[in-house]
Amino acid sequence: MSPDAYLEMAEIEASHWWFRGRRAILSRLIERMKLGPGARILEIGAGTGGNLDMLAAFGSVSAMEMDDAARSIATAKTNGRFDIRAGSFPGAVPFTRERFDLICLFDVLEHIDADVETLRGVSALLADGGSVIVTVPAYAWLWSAHDDFLHHKRRYSAQALQQTALAAGYRVHLLSYFNTLLFVAAAFARLKDRWLRKSPAPAADVPPKPLNDVLGTIFGMERFLVPRVKLPFGVSLVCVLRTEA
C-alpha cells in the first residue's frame, strides 16, 4: 500500500464502521473454528496492527508486515505485546521454523502479484490441521480510485478466488461474499467515483458518530450469517482454506 494509506489506516481502523464490522465478522468466524487453548496465530500483512488484539482473544499471535512505518505504528499501538517481524510473501518470510494453527491474510492477497505462489508459501507455515483465512475485495467491475490509492493488483470473483486457492493446493472449507447488507450503497459510491473520474485519494474519513454507529451495526450483523450461510454477493469475499480434508 502507499505510505498515505498506512497513515490513514492507523488513524481510523479503531473506530471506522468498516474495520469494526469486519473485525466482528472475522471474530465470530474464528470463534466457531474452536481453535483450542494455546493456538498459534499468524497475521500476514498486519498493517498498523488493528486486528492483533482481536486475534489475541483466540491464541498466541505473531505478525509480519513489510512496511517499516506500519510495523512501527503497530508495535507502538500494541505496546510491544506481539512479535511483529519484517517480511513479505512470497520471497522474504521470517517465520521459517514456526508452524501456526491459524494464518490470516485480511485484505492482503490483492496487493501481491504472485497470489498462487504466496498461498503455497503460506501452507508451508501451517501446523497439522491448521487453517488459513483470506479476505479480498470483490468484483473487478467495482474497481475505483480507492483501489488505485491502495495499490491493489486485482479484485476477485468467488470463482477466481476458489481457483487461486485450488491452484495453491488447498481445500476450500468456506467461501462467501460479505459486506452484503450495504452492497447497493457501497457499489453506488464506488461507481460514482469512477463516473466522476476522481483521482486516487484516501477513503472517506470516519462518518459522524450516529451514522458510523449505524453502518457498523448493519455491517456487523453479518457475523451471524457468514459462518452459516453462503452469501451470493457482496463488496468483499472471505474464505477458509485447509490443506487437509
Inter-helix orientation angle 115-123/158-167, to 10°? 50
Measured CA to CA, the distance from residue 105 to residue 66 in angstroms comes to: 13
pLDDT at 201: 47
8 A C-beta contact, residue 47 and residue 68: no
pLDDT at 2: 56
Distances 206 to 41, 54, 172 between C-alpha atoms, Å = 29, 20, 34
Grid cell for residue 84: 511483529
Q: For the chain, list the domains and their CATH numbers.
A: 3-242 (3.40.50.150)
Measured CA to CA, the distance from residue 89 to residue 65 in angstroms comes to: 10
Q: In this structure, how many other beta carbons lie within 10 angstroms of the beta carbon of residue 127?
A: 14
pLDDT at 200: 47
pLDDT at 12: 86
- For every one of its 245 residues, what pLDDT tens digit does the chain have, with 9 covering 90 and above? 655 667 667 778 889 999 999 999 999 999 999 998 899 999 999 999 999 999 999 999 999 999 999 999 999 999 999 999 999 988 889 998 999 999 999 999 999 999 999 999 999 999 999 999 999 999 999 998 889 888 999 999 999 999 999 999 999 999 999 999 999 998 888 777 666 665 544 455 788 999 999 999 999 999 999 999 999 999 999 999 999 86
DSSP string, the chain: --HHHHHHHHHHTTT-HHHHHHHHHHHHHHHTT---TT-EEEEES-TTSTTHHHHHTTSEEEEEES-HHHHHHHHHHTTT-SEEEE-BTTTB-S-SS--EEEEEEES-GGG-S-HHHHHHHHHTTEEEEEEEEEEEEB-GGG--HHHHHTT----B-HHHHHHHHHHTT-EEEEEEEE--TTHHHHHHHHHHHHHTTPPS-PPPPPPPHHHHHHHHHHHHGGGGTTTT---S--SEEEEEEES--
pLDDT at 191: 79
Specify the amino acid at residue 219.
Answer: F
CA-nearest of 54, 50, 52 to 25 is 54
